[in-house]
């Protein structure tokens, strides 16, 4: 008989990927890393004699509501790996770097979607990780609200988004113990504001036009594997 106290560990990952034209050179590396992540994570868990019952990954490809309209925010449901690996891979490979209009993108809206993901609540131990890759700054929330497909119910400003993220005294919309945020973003206003005000967040500064280094991938793997 298996133990009645066999706790389950669930890992949910949401990848927010800037899919605008300038991300061209970077996007292939992001895709490759995202595809390798599940297998590499499982290898590490095996080496550490640790068990993870469930790994799910969701993709949010973001651009700019004002300029890209219906392709501004493309989201998937969570893919359960390894069962849905093929569908996950196909979705990831389908992201094409295009559009974006001006320099800043609607990264904060993408983050809002990520925070409101249907996170796993059934596992006894959980890790909920959002990873954002972008080579540019963000518009203020609501910049593209004139677009017909701009979402209803979006956080109206950075303060509301901060409340959604929460902290120890005002828990927000995510599990405060499970949540983690990794930013691979430039040294620009709102990304820095997040780094300086949100808990459980690491920012690695990315430079526009430069590639994603292998050390960045190691940081993601470390952040996930060593906190399980």
At its nearest, how many Å lie between another protein and the CB of residue 8?
A: 10
Per rule CB under 8 A, is residue 214 in the interface with another protein? no
Which residue in 33, 138, 200, 206 binds another protein (CB under 8 A)?
Answer: 200
Of the pair 72, 212, the CB lying nearest another protein is at: 212
Per rule CB under 8 A, is residue 122 in the interface with another protein? no
Of the pair 19, 114, the CB lying nearest another protein is at: 114
Per rule CB under 8 A, is residue 121 in the interface with another protein? no
Q: What is the DSSP string of the chain?
A: ---TT---EEEEEEEEEE-SGGGHHHHHHHHHHHHHHHHHHHHHHHHTT----EEEEEEEEE--HHHHGGGSEEE--PEEETTTHHHHHHHHHT-------SS-B-HHHHHHHHHTS----SSSEEEEEEEEE-SS-BPPTTTTTTSTTPPTT--SSHHHHHHHH--SSS-TTS-TTTEEEEEEE-S-HHHHHHHHH-SSEEEEE--TTPPPPHHHHHHHHHHHHTT-
- Which of the ranges 15-23, 29-37, 133-141, 161-169 carries the binding residues for another protein, by CB under 8 A? 161-169
Which residue in 54, 167, 172, 208 binds another protein (CB under 8 A)?
Answer: 167
53-112: contacts with another protein (CB under 8 A): none
- Which of the ranges 36-44, 70-78, 143-151, 170-178 carries the binding residues for another protein, by CB under 8 A? 170-178
CA Rg, the chain, in Å? 17
Of residues 64, 201, 33, the one with CA closest to residue 129: 201
At its nearest, how many Å lie between another protein and the CB of residue 3?
A: 4
- Which of the ranges 59-67, 104-112, 134-142, 154-162 carries the binding residues for another protein, by CB under 8 A? 154-162
Per rule CB under 8 A, is residue 164 in the interface with another protein? no
Phi-psi region of 100 (alpha: psi -120 to 50; beta: other; left: phi over 0): left
- With CB under 8 A, what is the number of residues at the site for another protein? 41
Q: Which chain residues interact with another protein by CB under 8 A?
A: 1-7, 9, 48-51, 124-125, 158-159, 162-163, 167-170, 177-178, 180, 193, 195-202, 218-219, 222-223, 225-227
């Amino acid at each position: 008989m298996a133990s009645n106290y066999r706790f389950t560990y669930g890992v949910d990952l949401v990848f927010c990927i800037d899919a605008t034209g300038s991300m061209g050179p970077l996007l292939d590396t992001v895709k490759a890393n995202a595809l390798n992540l599940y297998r590499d994570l499982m290898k590490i868990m095996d080496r550490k004699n640790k068990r993870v019952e469930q790994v799910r990954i969701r993709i949010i490809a973001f651009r700019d509501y004002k300029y890209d309209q219906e392709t501004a925010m493309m989201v998937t449901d969570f893919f359960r790996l390894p069962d849905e690996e093929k569908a996950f891979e196909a979705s990831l490979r389908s992201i094409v770097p295009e559009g974006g209009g001006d320099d800043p993108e609607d990264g904060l809206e993408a983050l809002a979607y990520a925070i409101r993901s249907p996170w796993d609540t059934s596992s006894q131990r959980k890790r909920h990780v959002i990873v954002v890759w972008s080579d540019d700054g963000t518009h203020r929330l609501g910049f593209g609200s004139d677009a017909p497909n701009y979402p209803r119910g979006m956080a109206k400003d950075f303060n509301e988004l901060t409340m959604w993220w929460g902290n120890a005294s005002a828990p927000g919309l995510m599990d405060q113990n499970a949540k983690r945020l990794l930013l691979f973003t430039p040294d620009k206003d709102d990304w820095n504001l997040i780094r300086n005000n949100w808990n459980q967040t690491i920012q690695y500064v990315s430079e526009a036009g430069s590639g994603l280094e292998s050390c960045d991938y190691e940081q993601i793997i470390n952040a996930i594997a060593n906190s399980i």
